[in-house]
């Protein structure tokens, strides 16, 4: 396989850091950025918190009331999320980052992968210098800090970027892979969550070095071939997925905070139908037809769940949109354990109705 050098870049505690940049007076305090619900008061959840707040157990997903309780004796600031401002900061940051890449893969507002194999002439020393230059430019231009992982592949770089947060720079050369991974907790492998971790804990397996000793066939029996193979390869630091440019997502979406957390089909259907009517109207007004329909749950712990379907032919029919969205809703609810806090619908894969030629302002 062709040798590569890959960066994973992750802005540190991004939303809270953006707020610290906007108002320097809050730096040094415990800062929590909140998604307040429509129900008023302190109803809602934490989107992110700075490291001062994290020391007291405040992290993304926990209720605002609980976070306030944990920080009641601290100098703490609770701010509403301002996603327009964060998106603007992210765009400026990504513009800088992209200049350093042979191939740039946007992942989200606060993270990206870069293939820098040619730019660094396949030298990890050159890669470290390049990464430091990148960090300096972001700090000088935007006052933002970021953490960067450097390694031969995306998986290792993602793990490495989290290794010395905040403001970290961690390099894992090919000959250091085993030594780097061995002492890490298995939860450090992206995609391994609490349920999987619990399975291994029962087997008295806690770190990657121990995980590496399990036979791939046993992992396949436990988790299925796809997941078993992924865990087996990840424990050895193997990842063949290349950095690839991500095309911009062209879609219309609407999301709403529910009046109460729920997983009742009829209640959720009412909200979905309302969103479908709004979205289809947008499509008609723009002379667009769409082939892809999706729904999204934001659960009470702020985790998300999505389901989508590609139609055989493009439509812009409210009736068809409601029918498919409600089918997806029923499917999503069959395995749903948590209550849903917010629900969204999206349409994409657009085509023009009778010769309209340009697609603009789709996010």
| Surface-to-core class of residue 46, CB atoms within 10 Å of its CB (0-12 exposed, 13-18 middle, 19+ buried) | buried
Whether the domain at 184-235 and the domain at 251-352 fall into the same CATH topology: no
Could you report the per-residue pLDDT of 191-219, keeping only the tens digit for each? 888 888 999 999 999 999 999 999 999 99
Superfamily of domain 251-352, CATH level 4: DNA polymerase, Y-family, little finger domain (3.30.1490.100)
pLDDT at 207: 95
**Separation of alpha carbons 67 and 200, rounded Å:** 31
Question: Could you tell me the end-to-end alpha-carbon distance of the chain, in angstroms, rounded to an integer?
Answer: 36
- pLDDT(38) > 50: yes
- State residue 305's pLDDT score: 86
Binding residues: 10, 110
Q: How far is CA 73 from CA 13, 17, 77, in A?
A: 22, 22, 12
Can you give the pLDDT at residue 1? 64
DSSP H helices, 35-82, are 51-54, 64-70
Cβ-based neighbours of 264, under 8 Å, separated by 6 or more: none
Q: What is the pLDDT of residue 250?
A: 64
| Strand spans (E) along 263-357 | 288-299, 304-315, 340-352
Kindly name the residue from 95, 111, 330, 354 that is annotated as catalytic: 111
Residue 175 has pLDDT above 70, yes or no: yes
pLDDT mean across residues, the chain: 90
Q: What is the pLDDT of residue 39?
A: 67
Domain residue extents for the chain: 6-13+85-178, 15-82, 184-235, 251-352
Per the DSSP assignment, residues forming a β-bridge with 150 are 7, 171
Collapsing DSSP to helix, strand or coil, 193 comes out as: coil
Q: Enumerate the β-bridge partners of residue 352.
A: 288
Supply 200's token pair.
């291994």
Contact present, 77 and 87 (Cβ < 8 Å): no
Q: Are strands 103-108 and 111-115 parallel, antiparallel or unpaired?
A: antiparallel
pLDDT at 355: 38
The CATH classification of domain 15-82, taken from the options 3.40.1170.60, 2.40.128.20, 3.40.50.620, 3.40.50.150: 3.40.1170.60
Cβ atoms of residues 168 and 179 within 8 Å:
no
- Least reliable range by pLDDT among 1-10, 25-34, 238-247: 238-247
How much of the chain exceeds pLDDT 70, in percent?
94
111 labelled catalytic = yes
Taking the CA of residue 95 as centre, how many other CA atoms within 13 Å lie in the half-sphere pointing to its CB? 8
Q: What is the pLDDT of residues 231-279, one digit of tens each?
A: 999 999 999 999 998 755 567 889 999 999 999 999 999 999 999 999 9
* pLDDT for position 348: 83
Parallel/antiparallel/unpaired status of strands 6-11 and 111-115: antiparallel
Residue numbers in the known binding site for Mg(2+) are 10, 110
Higher-scoring residue by pLDDT: 348, 185:
185
User: What is the spatial distance between Cα 80 and Cα 83, in angstroms, rounded to a whole number?
Assistant: 9
Helix, strand, coil percent content, the chain, rounded in steps of 5: 40, 25, 35
Give residues with Cβ within 8 angstroms of 209, minimum separation 6.
181, 182, 183
- CATH code reported for the domain at 184-235: 1.10.150.20
Q: Is 94 exposed, middle or buried (0-12, 13-18, 19+ CB in 10 A)?
A: middle
Q: If you classify domain 6-13+85-178 with CATH, what class do you get?
A: alpha beta
Which pTM value belongs to this model? 0.70
């Amino acid at each position: 396989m062709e040798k590569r050098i890959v960066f994973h870049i992750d802005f540190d505690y991004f939303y809270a850091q953006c707020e610290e940049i906007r108002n320097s007076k809050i730096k040094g305090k415990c800062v929590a950025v909140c998604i307040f619900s429509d129900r008023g008061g302190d109803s809602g959840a934490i989107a992110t918190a700075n490291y001062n707040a994290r020391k007291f157990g405040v992290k993304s997903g926990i209720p605002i009331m609980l976070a306030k309780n944990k920080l009641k004796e601290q100098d703490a600031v609770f701010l509403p999320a301002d996603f327009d401002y964060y998106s603007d900061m992210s765009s400026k940051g990504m513009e800088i980052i992209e200049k350093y890449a042979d191939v740039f893969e946007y992942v989200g507002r606060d993270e990206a992968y870069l293939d820098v194999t040619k730019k660094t002439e396949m030298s990890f020393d050159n890669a470290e210098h390049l990464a430091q230059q990148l960090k300096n430019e972001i700090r000088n231009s935007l006052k933002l800090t970021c953490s960067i992982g450097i390694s031969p592949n995306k998986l290792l770089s993602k793990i490495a970027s989290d290794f010395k947060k905040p403001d970290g720079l961690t390099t894992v050369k090919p000959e250091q892979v085993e030594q780097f991974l061995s002492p890490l907790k298995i939860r450090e492998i992206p995609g391994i969550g609490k349920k999987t971790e619990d399975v291994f804990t029962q087997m008295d397996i806690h770190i990657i070095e121990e995980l590496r000793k399990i036979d791939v066939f046993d992992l396949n029996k436990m988790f299925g071939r796809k997941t078993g193979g992924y865990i087996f390869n990840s424990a050895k630091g193997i990842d063949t997925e290349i950095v690839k440019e991500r095309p911009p997502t062209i879609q219309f979406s609407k999301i709403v905070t529910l009046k109460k957390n729920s997983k009742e089909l009829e209640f959720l259907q009412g909200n979905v139908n309302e969103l479908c009517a709004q979205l289809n109207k947008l499509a008609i007004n723009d002379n667009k037809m769409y082939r892809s329909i999706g729904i999204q749950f934001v659960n009470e712990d702020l985790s998300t769940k999505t389901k989508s379907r590609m139609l055989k032919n493009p439509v812009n029919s409210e009736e068809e949109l409601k029918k498919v969205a409600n089918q997806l809703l029923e499917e999503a609810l069959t395995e749903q354990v948590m209550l849903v806090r917010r629900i969204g619908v999206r349409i994409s894969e657009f085509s023009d109705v009778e010769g309209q030629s340009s697609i603009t302002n789709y996010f």
